[in-house]
Amino acid sequence: MDGTLTIVVDSSGLIVSIGCNQSYTGRYKECLFAGQSMRDIIGLTSRQRIFNGSLIIDDDFEFSFVIPQPYDEIADAVEHMPLDLIFNEICVADFSS
């Protein structure tokens, strides 16, 4: 949608995820948004973990930052990502399963 939002549906048309880039001005929990650095995210949250190419925040498996390349392939732990790494995409989906 206008290069800002991406909506993913399954074969039956059910929305399974919504993603957005740094052009989206909304915030999650009033402090997290696309375009933040790893340093900012660590400073604003209690726990970060990597799961399927995404950065999960505070064990909320319904919100994540998309890990940019090449770190989506090579980072096995949060400590492997540089503090100045910028996360330009966020995703809302249910990764709890």
Instruction: Output the six-digit token pair for 79.
Output: 């400590």
Residue 1, pLDDT > 70, answer no
Q: What is the mean pLDDT of residues 55-83?
A: 89
DSSP secondary structure code for residue 68 in this structure: P
Higher-pLDDT residue of 55 and 74 is: 55
The DSSP secondary structure of 5-58, one letter per residue, reads EEEEE-TTS-EEEEEEETT----BTTTB-TTEEHHHHHHH-S-EEEETTEEEET
* pLDDT, tens only, 5-61: 889 898 999 898 899 999 999 999 999 999 999 999 999 999 999 988 899 999 998
Helix (H) or strand (E) holding 90: strand 89-93
The Cα–Cα gap between 84 and 61 comes to 24
